[in-house]
Structure 1
């Protein structure tokens, strides 16, 4: 039986699927063009091929991908330096997408054809306490493809005011920032002071969510031009860490010697000592990434300051479907303050150029591939 025949069935039986609205079966895809890595080492190894489309199971939906956004993890995967989980052979990369449902399985009741959705980064992390190991574009084939099926419980609705390109930035960058600031053991509150490092995707969303929550933001970057963008987005103070290498000292000056309540740590080993110096006694450091590299080893005296200052250190690995839905409520309630910042949009056939632009670190916000 062909996919088009399966998808137009109205009988609910095991392995039989239906469309929630009548449609021309011939319009449904039988193949998809997608990227994959025959071998890792460089994003130049990406190849594009046409493969059959999998029919959705009874609890799945078939989605047409409209946009995919890139993140630093995608570069690490491409280079073969990503160590979390076992990467699949011939991996289809990327984890962050926005698209449109074109067919649903027979047991799916909460979704219909035409719904605009994002897939959650960690497919098996539905609730906050779910184990959460199956990350798209790593342990699970990713989303750099025209069509793909997803389990119905792993997708969320796109806020009405966002385009597909804007919505594609939410699954990793936005949800990671939201989880760090607003869904931990001590959610951010109005009047708190937050330090965000750089102007990449997570940091920009953290800045926006902090401003929307009434917090005061200090932003760092090596570029005055990027810091101007941060100021326009609501950062009260900015620090160029190239001209002010001891930026922890500057943070203390800006906070009357107290330090910030929260640090969004995206650089990792390269900046952790400065982050510890920037945070107040009893404050929090949310460790998110390693964009500063993995070669710089922190000095051995980190443990002492952490204990002395009673710092709360929390590792962040994106978030759950429940957190995603809650974040979208915040975004919908603060339309302009939280609108995603997109640096550049590339066409599907320009995927390698999109990777190269991300690798250049010339971007502010997110790099998106339109499909």
Structure 2
């Protein structure tokens, strides 16, 4: 089988396409023929050597394919089932704990940049009916993050106002989930073409945050001065203050990203005087993913895919991802 291994200390030039024997499933495991993977920011951090990885690690946390064989004791899946990976294989449901957040594919053990993988059956869920493998691979990290931030923790309801920042994949999923829930969506970007695409995807109003630096106030004005009910906050330090301004009293901020850094000054009085709730979102559980997939099927939602590359062009795929010119998921065909 073909797979990619990352040589220490990382870097796109250290992604090696190699040939190895395929694994065999043990008790409780499934053998999956991976057909597609999706790239995420944490994958980029990993391959660039910005987080410690074992030499020779197989990268990528998001994969989809079909079940080929079952180990003893597996009865939830069958050969031929289309499946998609779970980001935290041991976080099955409920609240995250230190024990359930361990062992992330592509980090603490080998990931999905491989034609075949053997993992515990609970490391996968069934893919949405009618999805291609590329579409299914897009869900694991960004889809579940948007779902947990908006639906599980935010409890969005019809008539709510949702502010999504930028046009990254988490924001695109959140836009679609919010519209499916009957909410009104305000979206931001600094790119006029992307703003037009956000409107075509369903955004009710858009803001160019470069031409409107006080975009939090603008978002609040677009709600008649009430403020938004939810913010999908992907920027972090450079955007959090404006997200707070945009919120209504009692509003909710799903903090899901750190695109602008890791530390920020926050106005504590603005938070407690307005009773704003901030939820730190780190993907979600297997149960969250299954709930999301049922909602996707019921609402016939489709992810936004930018481009997909063959496995041997994984470095080119990461270079395209790092350019930030994409709109939607960057994926690999395996």
Tell me the distance in 1 between the aligned counterparts of 2:53 and 2:75: 33
Tell me the distance in 2 between the aligned counterparts of 1:313 and 1:345: 34
RMSD: 1.4
Deviations 1:324-346 (A, max 9, x none): 111111000111xx201101111
Alpha-carbon shift at residue 41 of structure 1 (Å):
4.3
Alpha-carbon shift at residue 289 of structure 1 (Å):
1.1
Tell me the distance in 2 between the aligned counterparts of 1:122 and 1:89: 22
1:359 alignment partner in structure 2: 322
Q: Is the 8 A contact 2:30 2:71 kept in 1?
A: yes
2:107 alignment partner in structure 1: 138
1:197 alignment partner in structure 2: 165
1:230 alignment partner in structure 2: 198
Q: Is the 8 A contact 1:38 1:90 kept in 2?
A: yes
For 1:280, which of 248, 251, 260 is the aligned residue?
Answer: 248
Q: Is the 8 A contact 2:8 2:49 kept in 1?
A: no
1:103-122 correspondence runs (5 A): 103-122=69-88
SS in 2 for 1:54: coil
Tell me the distance in 1 between the aligned counterparts of 2:214 and 2:255: 20
Give the TM-score normalised by the residue count of structure 1: 0.86
Structure 1 gaps, min length 5: 1-31
SS in 2 for 1:77: helix
1:16 alignment partner in structure 2: none
Tell me the distance in 2 between the aligned counterparts of 1:112 and 1:37: 32
1:216-255 correspondence runs (5 A): 216-255=184-223
Q: Is the 8 A contact 1:42 1:78 kept in 2?
A: yes
For 1:325, which of 290, 307, 313 is the aligned residue?
Answer: 290
User: What is the total number of aligned residue pairs between the two structures?
Assistant: 331
SS in 1 for 2:144: helix
2:311 alignment partner in structure 1: 348
Alpha-carbon shift at residue 293 of structure 1 (Å):
3.3
Once the two structures are overlaid, the 10-residue window that deviates more, 126-135 or 96-105, is 126-135
For 1:96, which of 59, 62, 87 is the aligned residue?
Answer: 62
SS in 2 for 1:153: helix
Tell me the distance in 1 between the aligned counterparts of 2:113 and 2:273: 46
Structure 2 gaps, min length 5: none
2:333 alignment partner in structure 1: 370
1:81 aligns with 2:50: yes
Tell me the distance in 1 between the aligned counterparts of 2:151 and 2:54: 33
SS in 2 for 1:284: strand
Q: Is the 8 A contact 2:9 2:55 kept in 1?
A: no
1:163 aligns with 2:132: yes
1:42 alignment partner in structure 2: 11
- Runs of 4+ in structure 1 off by over 4 angstroms are none
Tell me the distance in 2 between the aligned counterparts of 1:136 and 1:271: 30
Deviations 1:229-260 (A, max 9, x none): 11011100101111112211211211122211
Tell me the distance in 1 between the aligned counterparts of 2:256 and 2:41: 11
1:258-337 correspondence runs (5 A): 258-294=226-262, 297-299=263-265, 301-335=266-300
Q: Is the 8 A contact 2:141 2:283 kept in 1?
A: yes
Tell me the distance in 1 between the aligned counterparts of 2:92 and 2:29: 15
Alpha-carbon shift at residue 351 of structure 1 (Å):
0.7
- Higher RCO (CA-CA < 8 Å; seq separation 6+): 2
2:148 alignment partner in structure 1: 179
Q: Is the 8 A contact 1:97 1:168 kept in 2?
A: yes
Tell me the distance in 2 between the aligned counterparts of 1:368 and 1:119: 14
Give the TM-score normalised by the residue count of structure 2: 0.96
Tell me the distance in 2 between the aligned counterparts of 1:180 and 1:34: 33
SS in 1 for 2:20: strand
1:22 alignment partner in structure 2: none
Once the two structures are overlaid, the 10-residue window that deviates more, 260-269 or 121-130, is 121-130
1:56 alignment partner in structure 2: 25
